[in-house]
Amino acid sequence: MTSAAGRFITLEGIEGVGKTTNVEFVRGLLEAHGVEVVVTREPGGTPLGEEVRELLLDHRHDGMAADTELLLMFAARAEHIARVIRPALAAGRWVICDRFTDATFAYQGGGRGIGFERVALLADWVHRDLQPDLTLLLDLPVETGLMRAGRRNNADRFEKEKLDFFERVRDAYLRLALQEPQRFRVITADAPLKHVQARLQEVMTEWLATRIS
Ligand code: T5A
């Protein structure tokens, strides 16, 4: 079974919600429908983007100006769109991306306090008509997410932020979901993994029913 055109699916949420874990689960669901899938991530997804990611996450750059951070996110994204996302979609592949521009609205717009308007200006410049077809927003309380993420060593520059930063990020994500209910599906991630994945499967099955023939 194949689709006529590529589709663009993103996973979003604060640290530790389970995006990376569930990207693979969603890939499996799509491949079971015969869909050819490209899995990628932001910041990153290209050699240049992965180098920008290192700059963004590295503690050597603690205190980076919020605008620098914002522009680096979009610089990596411009490369990612040109080299990976648009070519894959044009070839009829489906793209699953671990974070995209909603993360910039949430982290830089909400968390850093830049606001949605300036992020929207850059989004319009960098990718105009390109929007995810579906965004799976995994949501849970900030403390739970940070506890899960904190099981790893070497917290990066973002993971060292304080609780109120992540509360603003979570709040921004939930506002985005309210603004675009057609595109977003909010999945409660504060549950055992098998429950989260059962819900993801339900949501994906319903969404795919109208998109794959
Ligand atoms: N960023 C990114 C911006 O500020 N602006 C932007 O525009 C973009 C694109 C790096 C950082 O960049 C920032 C946001 C980030 O701070 P990242 O590496 O994608 O981005 O993000 P992280 O959130 O740091 O990735 P994490 O790995 O912390 O979170 P995930 O991917 O959501 O979580 P995952 O899957 O690694 O799971 C974390 C742990 O929880 C367990 C897993 O096994 C793992 O140990 N887990 C569960 N445990 C119990 N129950 C469940 N249901 C579980 N699901 C997963």
How many CA atoms within 13 Å lie on the side-chain side of 1? 11
Query: Which residue out of 21, 127, 188 has the highest number of ligand 1 atoms within 8 Å of its CB and is therefore the one to mutate?
Result: 21
DSSP conformational letter for 134 = E
Q: Is 102 helix (H, G, I), strand (E, B) or coil?
A: helix
From the list 142, 132, 150, 156, the residue with the least C-alpha distance to 189 is 142
44: confidence class by pLDDT, cuts 50, 70, 90: very high
Ligand 1 atom with the shortest distance to the CA of 22: 35
pLDDT, residue 3, reads 44
Place of tokens 């023939």: 213
Ligand 1 atom with the shortest distance to the CA of 73: 7
145, 188 Cβ separation under 8 angstroms? no
Instruction: For residue 211, give both structure tokens.
Output: 């998109």
Q: Write out pLDDT tens, residues 59-105.
A: 999 999 999 999 999 999 999 999 999 999 999 999 999 999 999 99
- Ligand 1 pocket: which residues have CB below 6 Å? 13, 15-21, 41-43, 73, 98-99, 103-104, 107-108, 148-149, 151, 158, 189, 191-193, 196
**For atom 1 of ligand 1, which residue has the closest CA?**
103
Residue 152 falls in which region: left (phi positive, over 0), alpha (psi -120 to 50) or beta: beta
From the list 146, 142, 138, 147, the residue with the least C-alpha distance to 195 is 138
**What distances in angstroms separate CA 74 from CA 68, 99, 102, 164, one per listed residue?**
10, 13, 12, 24
φ, ψ at 9 (rounded to 5°): -120, 130
pTM of the complete model? 0.96
5: confidence class by pLDDT, cuts 50, 70, 90: confident
Ligand 1 atom with the shortest distance to the CA of 107: 4
**For atom 15 of ligand 1, which residue has the closest CA?**
158
**What distances in angstroms separate CA 208 from CA 9, 35, 123, 134, one per listed residue?**
11, 11, 27, 10
pLDDT, residue 151, reads 66
Using CB atoms within 10 A of its CB, is residue 91 exposed (0-12), middle (13-18) or buried (19+)? exposed
Among 94-103, 120-129, 154-163, 184-193, the range scoring the smallest mean pLDDT is 154-163
Q: What integer best gives the mean pLDDT of the chain? A: 95
Evaluate if residue 131 carries a pLDDT over 90: yes
Average pLDDT over residues 27-49: 97
